Structure 1
């Protein structure tokens, strides 16, 4: 059951952020400067931007620490998902695969 929840969170974690990124990209292209200007346009958006950056760093440490401990393969994939989409995909995907690894180990 927990794997289904993680899988559904992966879908939400991909669809919701990209529902915002795709229209931005269609309107402005891959304008990284504008992206960061808008991300830090005010204190509230800056708060969320900094939160996501710190959460990403925490995710990377967790992925490599826990993934290495559990002898999981291809840990770079979760960092790539984090960079291409966000913590909203990288974290539930890692938790899904971690759960599978734990269940295989306990079998």
Structure 2
């Protein structure tokens, strides 16, 4: 599973930024235009609110579950969620947790 999560982590950063970087090159860092285009119609608002709720849920989950299971480097998943998104933070956290689980299995 670790390799699967790692591949998804890579996709989770490459795909969103693959779409965002061309927009950024074309328009620069125009926050007002970004917000306007992101909220241009009800379906895009739906998608952003879905992502927002998912991100808040994931941040809470990583914080609590990561503390409970003492997942090393969990703060990278928190930062990844904040700066990239759920598509990066979730598989990264699952990768970190899986690697820790595998290490514990070897030790026992």
* TM-score in same-fold range (> 0.5): yes
- 2:42 alignment counterpart: 43
Structure 1 residues 1-107: aligned runs within 5 Å: 2-106=1-105, 107=107
Structure 2 unaligned regions, length at least 5:
none
Q: Is the 8 A contact 2:55 2:81 kept in 1?
A: yes
Partners of 2:102 and 2:38 in 1: CA distance:
39
- TM-score calculated relative to the size of structure 1: 0.91
Q: Structure 1: which 4+ aligned runs deviate by more than 3 Å? A: none
Structure 1 unaligned regions, length at least 5:
none
What's the Cα RMSD here?
1.2
Q: Is the 8 A contact 1:14 1:85 kept in 2?
A: yes
Partners of 1:54 and 1:33 in 2: CA distance:
22
Q: Is the 8 A contact 1:70 1:101 kept in 2?
A: no
- TM-score calculated relative to the size of structure 2: 0.91
